[in-house]
A and B are shown apart, each in its own frame.
Chain A
């Protein structure tokens, strides 16, 4: 089970990094989303294998670790905020430079 999760995290990292280096800025921004999903899955895998009984439940058995789940929730919310700022910036930039091409978003020089 751990192998499958590790493979999934690795594949998501690879897809995210590949997308991040695309020429089209929108695809590149989606690469950021996929990368943050990969990291959230990594954080999930930290506490996922200790037990399957929820912390609040009355049942007996090994309790699962609730802290990484709190970390993931915080990370998801924060990356949502960051991604909305990134999308707003992309909206302004693509409208201003009339292009989707990251090679042309390069007017800032010395």
Chain B
């Protein structure tokens, strides 16, 4: 009984931490220490879940409230969800460490820490849940907390970006509710494992394709895929730095996780059409993100557009449809989270050292001369983003292109060629930012501030990038296992429905 309760700890612990963190709102230091302790505990619980699933080879299932499977809400940690939950928790811990060391006024806001913990709850719960309506609840929790965290930003455009995000997210929630409704009419269940079984048995329901399309639209909005990407650059640029680093690295991955589940678990028979759509929007995202990043005048905005491009790579890899390609997609997801959060923290650090707190290239040009260590980290991070050895970005891009070459098929070769060429753009835009901030001399006479945010978190993240680039084998094995489990949904379905 104790081991099966382990799987709810990754999101119940931060939720309890939020509640008590609200009580501590008048004492910022106590609140910060409490939040860090809570998040480290939940990361330990997530490591325990991940370890248990990967060493015993059995998914960890928990039925909330004791109601048996398809009637209750199941929390299911199989190889893929436990790996994604671990990625989320690790990156969020570093985000919180950065937030505690940051000089933003937004971090001192009494509700910042509880909102951050609630964001962790929503995201981890969304990754671990086995019920599509519970997914809706977790997604809504993420929307509200992310909007609130952006609205309190030091940047004066915070509320405007947050309002645009709330509008598009309400539309995405409406799509998700319509999808849940359509699937419930057709199949009578909300549990993902049960739904997978019923869809396989009876693929001729008239509302199936409606449900698939609306679910696809929801995850497109959540992962900022090409036609529904327009909220993302503004939103990720004006958020406070620790929040922006989290949003651009792990919060968008919920949409990617949703696509992985749609094509491997829920709608296996209909996966070919979904794959084709994913290829199209993925390639469009890579092109749009790459060229958009080239045209920006702001370091954080450049990194936000870069997220669009990297997510395009992941969607194309899911769209190729083989287990090897899915393993490459999962690997890319994890590595990109580490790289992007580190780069955004560094961009925010540079902005905090600049005379006015802005990441615009005119303001931060030449600030890097006073921040050499940040320059080293940004250079390594830039190499990782562009996919140069010995970083983990190289491993993930290599895995992606090799899986594409192995997948075969005409559409695969075309998309592989296009994204191969466009991946050179990431080298151009990130090195352009590095040169403007660290190599070119300052053009304005305003003084650079003596200290900025603390660099502990980006140092650890870039260190992880280097370690995972040099000792890449464990992560490769783990992601290959996760992809193999994903492509054998019978194990998941049986584990959820039998308990």
Stretch at the interface among B180-188, B263-271, B326-334: B180-188
Interface size class of B (residues with CB under 8 A): 35 or more
- Among B81-140, those with CB < 8 Å from A are 133, 136-137, 140
Residue from the set B144, B156, B301 with the largest chain A CB neighbour count within 10 Å: B144
Give how many A-B residue pairs fall within 8 Å (CB-CB): 87
Given the complex, which residues of B lie within 8 Å of A68, measured CB to CB?
181, 184
Which residue of chain A has its CB nearest to the CB of B183?
A: A46
Q: For chain B, what secondary structure do more than half of its interface residues adopt (helix, strand, loop), or is it mixed?
A: helix
Pairwise interchain contact B143-A108, C-beta atoms closer than 8 A: no
Interface size class of A (residues with CB under 8 A): 20 to 34
Pairwise interchain contact B177-A108, C-beta atoms closer than 8 A: no
Which residue of chain B has its CB nearest to the CB of A88?
A: B151
Given the complex, which residues of A lie within 8 Å of B163, measured CB to CB?
86, 89-90, 93, 105
Stretch at the interface among B22-30, B165-173, B278-286, B422-430: B165-173
B160 at interface (Cβ–Cβ under 8 A)?
Answer: yes
Q: How far is the CA of A35 from the CA of B147 in the complex (A)?
A: 20
Q: What sequence of 0s and 1s flags, for each residue 20-44 of chain A, a beta carbon within 8 Å of any chain B beta carbon?
A: 1000000010001001100100110
Q: For chain A, what secondary structure do more than half of its interface residues adopt (helix, strand, loop), or is it mixed?
A: helix
B298 at interface (Cβ–Cβ under 8 A)?
Answer: yes
Given the complex, which residues of B lie within 8 Å of A36, measured CB to CB?
170, 174
Query: What residues of chain A have their CB less than 8 Å away from a CB belonging to chain B?
Result: 20, 28, 32, 35-36, 39, 42-43, 46, 67-68, 71, 74-75, 78-79, 81-82, 85-86, 88-90, 92-93, 96, 105-108, 110
Kindly list 13 other residue pairs between chains A and B, CB separation below 8 angstroms, not including A71-B180, A85-B148.
A32-B170, A35-B170, A42-B177, A68-B184, A75-B136, A78-B136, A81-B144, A82-B170, A85-B144, A85-B147, A92-B159, A93-B159, A108-B234
Query: What residues of chain B have their CB less than 8 Å away from a CB belonging to chain A?
Result: 133, 136-137, 140, 143-144, 147-148, 151, 156-157, 159-163, 166-167, 169-171, 173-174, 177-178, 180-181, 184-185, 190, 234, 238, 295-298, 301
For this complex, 9 residue pairs linking A to B, each with C-beta atoms less than 8 Å apart, are: A20-B167, A39-B181, A67-B184, A67-B190, A78-B173, A89-B159, A89-B166, A107-B160, A110-B298
